[in-house]
Amino acid sequence: MHDDRSLVEARLKRVLEERIRPAVYPESVPLEVAVWHAPDEPVPVAEGLAGTPEPIAVGARWGAPWGTSWFRVTGTVPQEWAGKTVEALLDLGFDENMPGFQCEGLVYRPDGTPVKGLNPRNQWVRIGAPVAGGEEVRLHIEAASNPVILDYHPFLPTQLGDKETAGSEPQYTLTRMDLAVLDENVWNLVLDLEVLGELMAELPVDSARRWDLLRAIEKALDAVDLQDVGGTAERARAQLTAVLASPAGPSAHRISAIGHAHIDSAWLWPLRETVRKVARTTSNMTALLDDEPDFVFAMSQAQQWAWLKEHRPEVWARVKKAVADGRFVPAGGMWVESDTNMPGSEAMARQFVHGKRFFLDEFGIENEEAWLPDTFGFAAGLPQIIKAAGSKWLLTQKISWSQTNKFPHHTFRWEGIDGTRIFTHFPPVDTYNCSMQGREIAHAARNFKDKGVARHSLAPTGWGDGGGGTTREMVAKAARLRDLEGSAAVAWETPKEFFAKAEAEYPEPPVWVGELYLELHRATLTSQAMTKQGNRRSEHLLREAELWAATAAVRAGFPYPYEDLDRIWKTVLLHQFHDILPGSSIAWVHREARRTYERIAAELTTVIDAAQRALAGEGTTPLLFNSAPHSREGVLAGGARTPAVEGETALAPRAGGGHVLDNGILRVEIDARGLVVSAYDIEANRETIAPGRAANLLQLHPDFPNMWDAWDVDEFYRNTVTDVMDAEEVVAEADDSVRIVRSFGTSRVTQVLSLAPGERRLLIETEVDWHETEKFLKLAFPLDVHAERYASETQFGHFHRPTHTNTSWEAAKFEACNHRFVHLEEPGWGVAVVNDSTYGHDVTRTVRGDGDQGTTTTVRVSLLRAPRFPDPETDQGVHRFRHALVPGAGIGDAVREGWRINLPERRVEGAHEVTPLVSVDRDAVVVTAVKLADDGSGDVVVRFHEAHGGRARATLTVGFAFDAVEDVDLLERASADRAAPERDGDRIQLALRPFELRTLRLRRS
């Protein structure tokens, strides 16, 4: 037989596009349209419906950036359409290639009842099926003219990302407002041909099934009268019945489709717009659930559910009913789909506490999965947190974006720093916006790396980010793919159903140990420094507020601010969303975030001050309140007393220029350039700085990645570096510190270096007035240390990374995340670099001479970037950072100094000392939270972990009367798999594994 394959395929493409698809709506009449533009921010539904609209014609421009326009469409169904299916086609000016990234609408009936969302791939509203003819149609559309930020030429700087700079130029052209007849036979023919044509294109050319499909499609096209598509569609479909009925083989890959609409809680739109995106999407999905009995939809992010409950109660009622029916599924058990690299230990725990508790309180549903399809890599401490929250599974997809190395598994057990393992799945479909296209389904089956031992994978299906979620076309395609020869078999299932099946068929999958590092988006560890500082500061202020409010409640009857702390925690958790904390949102988002963090800081400071005053009483005795988990200046952790200060610091001129700081523990030489050329550990008789090198060195790189400006830094940035060495001033100050001033480009840096009495740390306070563009600023510490690996803090512990680049996996980690410290050491002696607000860093090693002169290991902390997309003014302005170099530091010193630099001293005058509510006799056991139980019982909850990476036995001493102690999970529920810890009076004996996380609930008398 002659090979006419290309001829038939080209015929299918043209006939579908030019004849069959246009025949889906064979008859239409225009609707009358009027519009009222809300004057500023979005208005309540009642106000929008009551606005006085003015006529507008199809073809007119509408919609200033970030505006809201209320369209009223009216018309009458023609009598001659009686018995037919009629829909309104409402095109606001959509580009079908941009679902979720442009204008959107929500349709209401005149009484304010929401009908469904309008999106580029979902422009229809059902009027009747069938209609009687003569029906009056009246609909209202709340249309958001969100500007297109990520356009066809992506990453171009734009002022559209903030309402304050976006201007008022109309963004869209009203395109179609019609009533139309829907020919369901033609609609189904389109779906038949799409599914079979897409499947055909994925099958091997020499497979019999491909040719069977080709011949059936050819017969169907022969059966279609192109001048009467509607009249011949049923005849054409009959030619496809047999090939659609041929079942999948027994070894076919199995795909669990889950209705999905990944909605970024903020990104290229502000938080307020996400509230409306959620309402539009959930309106769509509840309507689709009503129409499609097999369909299941899952939505994550408790915050988005809470917005729906607060702002759109009428939609919330429909969602609650669908949840009760088991078909609208709360997923993930987190407050938002947060970044997981940068949130601190307690914040990461509270993501699960607040997320899971919301779903439990509202629906009685406990999530067993963490759902994070789009998060930019996963910290090595996360498995333990997931398990401690009562969950056991993890889903993500983003690791497939890695540029250098292909991850070797799709289903595996992920092992965290403490040994906890979590059953994990990466969907091989490689998208969290699956649309049931044949190429996606075929890719999932081909790409699945666990063939031979497993055959289940998951496909999150639907348009995200306000694109409307799953469409009826996707559901129709899935129905045809349920059991179709040549294709993977598709079935709608909940996340729980998928994970239960996947785990049952693959009980011993491979194990991946350590972080799940994304080889992309590394610059999100640095972009938008003020957002990151606001997060870090808020986390520590919350620790202080809970600690002192709980202490004051137990000791002095202080009213514990349950509701305020709950609200503030949720606000901080929201801002850890994976496009806010990483700095990859528009200017509007980060402008609002800065104001929010300022408000949070003021509110929490008020709580802290009030609690400390209640504890100190009236008096003039100077008291240091120690919020850190280790003793400080003679003050116990969690207590307050008059501090004990020992020693003094000498400041002297340095020969050859500069200054010398000496406190008897360290001797630090700062040369005439303001660079640290020596940091000498007097007791160890050991130099810290590599020979011939200088620390406290600012280095400037060009920073113009190939794409994803705010997200990425590409490795070639290192090819060019400028050392900022010239100083305008290097001045000894009256407080025995050294002040250094430098200028470069259009920016200015002022640093203050100090060495406190009795301390093993050189404190470096840096103020940068930053006005560079597309530059990357780092602070370098070249150290005389030979180390093949280094430690960086992560949640509830630390994680080791190699300093070498033996393999492509190691070379790809050229920018990585730490929390409060990085630490490297030779046996018996080490160095830590600690920070109060930075996350990105890199560590490199070189050998001096031919290797016989030692190794230089350089730690560089990332300070600032200046990308121009999506915020063209990223990081412009004044920034303040605090870092410290800690020579002679063991890992315990790194842990302690990391806490200390993040928790400022608070000094209060009062009448008496404050003893801690709880204290631990081992520095290795770090208390991360002391608080009252969330249920309002007055019980005290204490969370702690082993922080040094070894086993620890310790005694927890309780400083108040209590009846019982329980081991509890993160939600403060008794742990079924743990016995109560051993108690002796007010002492509780602890035995912890390396990095083990524990939470105790002390039931007060």
Tell me: cis bond preceding 130? Omega within 30 of 0 counts: yes
The answer to whether residues 72 and 39 touch, using CB atoms and an 8 Å cutoff, is no
Given 3-state DSSP classes, what are the helix, strand and coil percentages for the chain, each rounded to the nearest 5?
30, 30, 40
Pairing mode, strands 840-847 and 829-835: unpaired
Using a 10 angstrom Cβ sphere, with 0-12 exposed, 13-18 middle and 19 or more buried, the burial of residue 81 is: buried
Other Cβ atoms closer than 10 A to 691: 12
Return the structure tokens found at 193: 């041909």
Phi and psi (nearest 5°) for 280? -65, -45
Phi and psi (nearest 5°) for 339? -60, 150
Helix extents (H) in 670-775: none
Pairing mode, strands 511-513 and 411-415: parallel
Q: In the beta sheet, which residues pair with residue 32? A: 74
| DSSP code per residue over 59-128 | T-EE--TTEEEEEEEEEE--GGGTTSEEEEEEESS--TT-TTSS-EEEEE-TTS-EEEEEBTTB-EEEEE
Amino acid at 766: T
Indicate the helix (H) or strand (E) that contains 944: strand 940-946
Residue in the structure block whose two tokens are 């609909």:
139
Return the structure tokens found at 888: 């002679």
Strand order through the sheet with 666-670: 650-653, 659-662, 666-670, 676-681, 686-687
The answer to whether residues 449 and 442 touch, using CB atoms and an 8 Å cutoff, is no
Return the structure tokens found at 287: 């309507």
Return the structure tokens found at 168: 């008022």
Active-site option among 151, 374, 430, 564? 374
Return the structure tokens found at 125: 């509203």
Helix, strand, or coil (residue 396): coil
Residue in the structure block whose two tokens are 């598709």:
490
Alpha-carbon distance of 318 to 328, in angstroms, equals 10
Geometric angle at alpha carbon 77, from 50 and 20, rounded to 5°: 115
The answer to whether residues 12 and 193 touch, using CB atoms and an 8 Å cutoff, is yes
Amino acid at 18: E
Helix, strand, or coil (residue 498): helix
Q: Which of 716, 712, 702 is nearest to 869 (CA)?
A: 712
Question: Phi-psi region for residue 241, left (φ > 0), alpha (ψ -120 to 50) or beta?
Answer: alpha
Other Cβ atoms closer than 10 A to 930: 26
Alpha-carbon distance of 203 to 209, in angstroms, equals 8
Q: Which of 841, 729, 835 is nearest to 776 (CA)?
A: 841
CA 232 from centroid of its chain's CA atoms:
51
Q: Which of 685, 667, 669, 666 is nearest to 677 (CA)?
A: 669
374 is catalytic: yes
Distance of CA 464 to CAs 128, 261, 273, 588, 853, Å? 28, 4, 14, 21, 56
Phi and psi (nearest 5°) for 443? -60, -40
Angle between helix 271-291 and 313-324 (nearest 10): 50
Residue in the structure block whose two tokens are 């938080």:
271
Beta strands in 787-828 (DSSP E): 789-794, 797-802, 816-817, 821-826
The answer to whether residues 266 and 577 touch, using CB atoms and an 8 Å cutoff, is yes
Question: Which residues are catalytically annotated?
Answer: 374
